[in-house]
Amino acid sequence: MLMTRIIPCLDCRDGRVVKGVRFQGLRDAGDPVNQALRYQAQGADELVLLDVSATRRGHGHQVETVRAVRRELGIALTCGGGVRSADDAAELLEAGADKVGINSAAVRDPELVAGLALRFGQQCVVVAIDAARSGESWLVRVAGGSEATEIDAVGWAAEAERLGAGEILLTSYDRDGTRDGYDLELLRAVSSRVRIPVIASGGADSPEHMAAAVAAGAHAVLAASIFHDGVTTVQAVKRRLGELGLAVRSHPTEAAP
């Protein structure tokens, strides 16, 4: 049985962690290094660190933030935001990222996905898809969720896999920050079209929501609000998921001697 990964997300702006609802109304949620270490101590399997303002403001990713986090962090780190080229990705990897997330630039130039996979390996390439419901389907949003497109999100996920993506980070724009649960229909639709791992994002409020996402096809579950706001901890989530029958990595302090 594959282990379900629990991944806290650090959305960053100007060197601080922020959180909002549907990508808007961002509020301060702490220092990224302190938050990263806290989640690592709780047993997080990986972290995602995204510069949420990079695309809209037109500046590059926050390499110094990535470097500062990596100096202290021992678990896998995916970084994204403002990645427009292979050189941008290389800068993040050199700063300490294990994987690079790309979103808007990949939508505008899909061959960027293939180029990154060829240069750095498929395992390094995470295509992030922000999807908003439109009738019976979902459309891709870009620029930190601020711009709508007419691109079908499920079809784009399949194309990203074909081009060389190693993972899909799938965020429901409609559920982001709401704590109403993941969009399970979206997860089922994408998971049924791709063979690469899908990370569920947007709407988590409980371990039960996470278990439902895994049942819908997710290989990993990402959350922010419930961890940042102290609603629960990674350790508590893993304990409950284990009770629900999911295979999760034990927290070091809970491992058998």
How far apart CA 141 and CA 153 sit, in angstroms, is: 9
Contacts of 52 (CB under 8 A, 6+ apart): 11, 12, 13, 18, 23, 26, 81, 144
Q: What string of DSSP letters covers the chain?
A: -PPPEEEEEEEEETTEEEEEETTEEEEEEE-HHHHHHHHHHHT-SEEEEEETTHHHHT----HHHHHHHHHH--SEEEEESS--SHHHHHHHHHHT-SEEEE-HHHHH-THHHHHHHHHH-GGGEEEEEEEEEETTEEEEEETTTTEEEEEEHHHHHHHHHHHT-SEEEEEETTTTTT-S---HHHHHHHHTT-SS-EEEES---SHHHHHHHHHTT-SEEEESHHHHTTS--HHHHHHHHHHTT---PPPGGGS--
Q: Spot the catalytic one: 45, 130, 176, 183.
A: 130
* 205 catalytic residue (yes or no): no
* 183 catalytic residue (yes or no): no
Q: Spot the catalytic one: 11, 31, 51, 183.
A: 11
Active site (catalytic) residues: 11, 130
